[in-house]
Structure 1
């Protein structure tokens, strides 16, 4: 473990609609203490925040302390399972170290931090126009196909959120995400009137019949538009292509996790 980590490099969202009352922090792999293969890709300590990837617990704890220093409270970390369970982050006892099994969280309470860990899956941050409700969603292809974004939006609205807007964080880009026909079929199974749009998010690989390049960002935009969320920023990253900045499971296999966090100030 590196005792003196480099300064963390945060990913600053280009999110013009973000209300002043909402705080956002997105980490990269740079600026922590984790050794290879969880390092920063340049031989220095990495800011791995995942406790489940084989990294030293002491390193992860130190890395989480680095991130915690930028936040108003301990983040509500989730045990993510590529599902559609959503939790009210304000009900989670972080002092007791509770880690809910879920893939999204939301809150209307000030100072409660919603957090998502990723290393190719798509992190989606949500807030309403008034800055009185925020949420974070883990949207890998399985969760997207099963409606995790639509259900997260519904949960936030049921809790009183107003007009919602979204930011799409760092995920595997459409030029790198090769999938089989079963992924296309999973999305088409619940596409309804959006079937043509869904097909447009899958580019056939000419030399590999039955394989497609899948655009997670396009699929997320389709899902959000389906439930009336049209003010969407971000969506121009690729974790696989940028080894010096992001962890990527598709690229490296054994690797760390970066975080996307949001809260009401």
Structure 2
């Protein structure tokens, strides 16, 4: 069910990255699909989400309509009271309002989990555990390049964060993320350290390294729990499975 799990300790903050096992979906998506609500069976999705939330002791999970941008949603008390419900994480296929369009979230609320859905992009979880400020970001190539991580940090700091720690989760690695040479060069020019080579010698991007460097330059300590999605059969990968790929989540929450 999890490729990495850190349960709430003295700080009250927990975080996890799921895998593709232990759920109820069928076919190439793997049993624990937490996205693809447009194609997966809603009954299976409900059971998948409930299994994860029950295991983590969480009632409320917020998700986004991720569009590879840099917008950040503030999940405050008003949002949770007036714009969110138990099944809203499933979006329109479940007959609920459309998901908020953004690629990152920030909250100071206890009892709510922020969940970022990915299949090869980089999920980044962030926390100032002492001040109780949490963030979660979807750092695909475009969003990373547009500054989604810095935008998330800006919002976290605007609501009280000072000492932020980050966790980079599973994503397609630099040895596998092949891109055209001009794209690798362009991203490298703005984010030094992001350019890499595949294991077969072609141009690539190492978004995990790029994210780590960007966060550290912004004064954030970084932890990495990031096996390659493409080469790990325990993880969802769009590059490997195409339209049949499911989605895993990076999820962070605070109990007190």
| 1:260 to partner: Cα distance | 1.1
- Deviation string, structure 1 residues 103-157 (Cα, Å, up to 9, x no partner): 1111111112111001110000000141511111101111111100011011100
Partner of 2:92: none
Partner of 2:105: 105
| 1:26 to partner: Cα distance | 2.2
| 1:241 to partner: Cα distance | 0.8
Structure 1 position 22 matched with structure 2 position 13: yes
| 1:186 to partner: Cα distance | 4.1
- Comparing 77-86 with 62-71, which one deviates more in the overlay? 62-71
Task: Give the Cα separation in 2 of the matches to 1:147 and 1:35.
Answer: 36
Distance 1:178 1:89, change over 3 A: same
- Deviation string, structure 1 residues 154-198 (Cα, Å, up to 9, x no partner): 11001111210101001111211111134324424544xxxxxx2
| Equivalent pair of 1:79/1:101 in contact (CA under 8 Å) | yes
Structure 1 position 60 matched with structure 2 position 62: no
- Comparing 92-101 with 125-134, which one deviates more in the overlay? 92-101
TM-score, normalised by the number of residues in structure 1: 0.82
| 1:206 to partner: Cα distance | 10
Partner of 1:240: 230
Partner of 1:95: 85
Task: Give the Cα separation in 1 of the matches to 2:199 and 2:171.
Answer: 24
Distance 1:13 1:206, change over 3 A: closer
Structure 1 position 216 matched with structure 2 position 207: yes
**Hey, which bits of structure 1, 4+ residues long, moved more than 4 A?**
204-208
- Comparing 250-259 with 122-131, which one deviates more in the overlay? 122-131
Task: Give the Cα separation in 2 of the matches to 1:23 and 1:207.
Answer: 38
| Equivalent pair of 2:170/2:225 in contact (CA under 8 Å) | yes
TM-score, normalised by the number of residues in structure 2: 0.85
Give the unaligned 5+ runs of structure 2: 89-96
| 1:14 to partner: Cα distance | 7.2
Give the unaligned 5+ runs of structure 1: 1-8, 40-45, 192-197
**Which residue of 246, 252, 256 maps to 2:241?**
252
Structure with greater helix percent: 2
| Equivalent pair of 1:147/1:223 in contact (CA under 8 Å) | no
Partner of 2:58: 72
